[in-house]
A and B are shown apart, each in its own frame.
Chain A
Amino acid sequence: MGRRRHLLIAGGLTAAALSTGGSLTYYDETLPTTLNPLYASSMVDFRSQELIFDRLWFNSSINNELESRVVDSWEMADGGRAIRLTLKSSIKWHDGKPFTSKDICFTVQAMLDPGTPSPIAEGYRDILAGCKTEGNSVAKVTFKKVFHNPRQRLGFAVLPRHAFRNNTRISPDLEFSARPIGTGAMKGSRGTRGVVFSAVENPHHRAKIPQLQMQEGNDPLLQVRAIMNNAVQGIIAVSPPYRAEISARDELALKSYDLRSWWFIALNTAKAPLNNAKVRQALDYILDRNELREKSIGVKPGERNSPCEFISGPFVQSSPYYNRQVPTKDRSDMAKASALLTEAGLKKTGGTWSSRGAAVNFRLGMLKSMNTEAPDLLEYVGNQFGAAGFGRQSFKISTDEWNREMLTGKAKNYDMLIGKWSFGQVEDVNDLFNTRKTGKGTRNIFNYSRADVDKLLDNYDRAKTDTAAKDAYHKLHAYLADDLPYLFLWKLDTKSAWRTEVKSNTISPYFYFTEFDSWKYDG
């Protein structure tokens, strides 16, 4: 491209940026922990980083096709074990340095470096083998094996080699985590009470909003009042009790935000009486999901465009892996539940179930942060089990304790845990259900272990085609719906609120701001 054309494009971008509205402010659930994509640990982190960095590949929010803003062309190599990426030219980092293939390879090497203590990088260590540059604009990334979806496996954000002085051991406490350098639509800078994003000119991004401010939303009611008064222009997640109020206002729009998450109650299959499949099936019949959904989320049965959709297995209904042959259980069936419990050897005396002479009590836990999206869900689940004749003790669990104890298989004291899983680009559930051993089953909450399940998961791992992958997961879905290591609840979208002055604000599933370039603000 000629230099004159560069200048024209830059001028046009500036003009475009200046022609639309000023600063836009929104509330997010909390402040991000970090702006370093290697250490993202919450949805807030992912959303913030989506503005600052480019992922090699992303799913378009419009047609769900895999697209890239930084890769111009690609081809598979080495029999499917490598992919050659040709990058777009003239892309610059936020500090003006050129974006090259060395940055891609640096990012891969940083993730593979054992001195980078990142759970996200760890996930890529099972997938990637290495990376080589072939000139400034071509990078060849090698995989550890052949995948049926190689590009989806490259959904990581690219990091600037020069910002780390080519040192691939990236520690979480580097200043980069607060003052990152990316190639995304916006440059971000973290303050103590918020994050400020400023638009950056680049050939592959044309942000029309020059500045974005993120603040931590506290009281949900105050957030709603603030947006009504135009003190802020957006709220990422509106708490269910306040959605009707927002809907009723003409100047506000309530928009669905697909978190790609599904909720569950994990059952401790190593502990009696939950080690008996009939008991687990009985609990599945005891749960009245309609009542839970109505009371905690406010969704009534038969409601159209419900943000909460029941599931019968470990996938959302829109997923190609979801097995539609397996029906959901919307309502409770106490007769079936009682029959199953009796078959399992439990006895009901005076309205209370007992096993081997002792009353059955469940210790029930829930990730505390879920209470915002489904207020009092823990209480309602406990009440349903209580009404069915079980004693219970309920506890809410902090995020740190959840990550430290529950995800690592140390939650032996609990009988049930209410949680949710969210999937970004790749819906790989292997780590949730595989027997826990080196490199596998790393997120298996209660150390569930079945040889049949391990085999199905292995089939998915080895699948070289989409069809083979789907087949493996469909069978998994059916198996798990019967064996019930989890009671599968629902997929829950949240609702965002934006003032109508904010236009063309397409909200991407999970990452939210993937299509931020199209956003406009007439404020």
Chain B
Amino acid sequence: MNKRRLALTIALTCVGLLLLGSFTAPERLSPVSGAEYALPMEAPPFGADARGRSLLGYALQGAQIVAGPAFLAAVLVGLLATLGGLLRCAGSERLVTIVNGFREVVGALPRMVVILVVALLTPPEWRGLGVLAVFWAILAAPGAIDEASAVASRIGGANFVEALRAHGFTRPRIYLYHIVALNLRPVIVRHASETLMQVVFLEVALSYLALASDEPSFTHLESFHSWADLLYMGYTSLILDVPTMHALLLGLGLVGVTAVLSVSVTASARAR
């Protein structure tokens, strides 16, 4: 029980950090002459980039870019996985078949193409990770639905519901507590937290692809900087003598916060 509480506390702390960063992000980053590539000791807390802009600003703006969409995508996948599991217990084979077929087709679509089309269709002033994260969640949900459905099937599906009904439990209790809370919870939470991480990685990947394709950013306004910018700034320090290791470490640390959140949420929801 203590481990569960500890995991939950860590998760809530991470959520708090991300939300705090998200709400305190500056609108613009101002360059400071003379502070180019400043290290954290020289320009606390995290140093500066090639133009003297504070990396703290990058961290905060990046949090604003990813936090909301990542949570949204996680919740969406969780809901869809829940629905998938419940549908398996509902007893309607026809509906299950139709949903399965649809799910398989959606799951087979090349995700990055769908994401790219959505990004290109979004008007420039609305461009952001939110819409893309929703579509990513829809495309990634089939795997979660599949697994939740398999778990529901293994506990007996509609037969399980009927058995508990015979014991006198109400349907809402059966579905929400016995099926979702007791059996599907680990699967749902694991998939939701994986999706949360995937959205962060998606943002990094899309930022790079936009840069490589000479396209405007797909995930944020041009005046904003994301965690991906920290990573691109920093990766060259691994192979060349460029003084940007502090940017790389900060970027990885921020991704790490999201990973810790994901792991601790999964741990707190583990089956007893």
Co-complex (A, B): yes
Q: Which residues of the partner chain A approach B28 to less than 8 Å between Cβ atoms?
A: 383
Check if A368 is an interface residue, CB within 8 A of chain B.
yes
Check if B41 is an interface residue, CB within 8 A of chain A.
no
Interface size on B, residues (CB 8 A): 17
> For the complex, what is the distance from the CA of A491 to the CA of B88, rounded to whole Å?
67
Complex contact A398–B242 (CB within 8 A): no
Check if A397 is an interface residue, CB within 8 A of chain B.
yes
Complex contact A393–B125 (CB within 8 A): yes
- Nearest CB in chain A: distance from B221 CB, A: 8
Interface residues of B in 203-226 (CB under 8 A from A): 212, 214-217, 221-223
Complex contact A397–B51 (CB within 8 A): no
Contact code string A382-404 (vs B, CB < 8 Å = 1, else 0) = 11000000000111111100000
Check if B50 is an interface residue, CB within 8 A of chain A.
yes
> For the complex, what is the distance from the CA of A147 to the CA of B208, rounded to whole Å?
49
Complex contact B222–A394 (CB within 8 A): yes
Q: Which of A30, A222, A241, A378 contacts B214 (CB 8 A)?
A: A30
Q: Which residues of the partner chain A approach B124 to less than 8 Å between Cβ atoms?
A: 395
Check if B105 is an interface residue, CB within 8 A of chain A.
no
Interface residues of B in 180-198 (CB under 8 A from A): none
Check if B159 is an interface residue, CB within 8 A of chain A.
no
Complex contact B242–A395 (CB within 8 A): no
Complex contact A397–B216 (CB within 8 A): yes
Complex contact A218–B216 (CB within 8 A): no
Q: Which of B31, B125, B212, B236 contacts A221 (CB 8 A)?
A: B236
Q: Which of A368, A376, A382 contacts B216 (CB 8 A)?
A: A368
Complex contact B223–A398 (CB within 8 A): no
Interface residues of B in 1-47 (CB under 8 A from A): 28, 31
Check if A309 is an interface residue, CB within 8 A of chain B.
no
Q: Which residues of the partner chain B approach A225 to less than 8 Å between Cβ atoms?
A: 240
Complex contact B236–A219 (CB within 8 A): yes
- Closest chain B residue to A393 by CB distance? B125
Complex contact B212–A218 (CB within 8 A): yes
Complex contact A368–B236 (CB within 8 A): no
- Closest chain A residue to B30 by CB distance? A383
Q: A219-B236, A225-B240, A378-B222 are in contact. Are A241 and B216 (CB under 8 A)?
A: no
Additional pairs, 13, CB under 8 Å, beyond known A30-B214, A368-B214: A219-B236, A221-B240, A222-B240, A368-B215, A368-B216, A369-B214, A382-B223, A395-B124, A395-B125, A395-B216, A396-B217, A396-B222, A399-B214
Check if A113 is an interface residue, CB within 8 A of chain B.
no
> For the complex, what is the distance from the CA of A251 to the CA of B223, rounded to whole Å?
39
Query: Would you mind naming 5 contact pairs between A and B with Cβ atoms under 8 Å apart?
Result: A30-B214, A218-B212, A295-B31, A378-B222, A396-B222
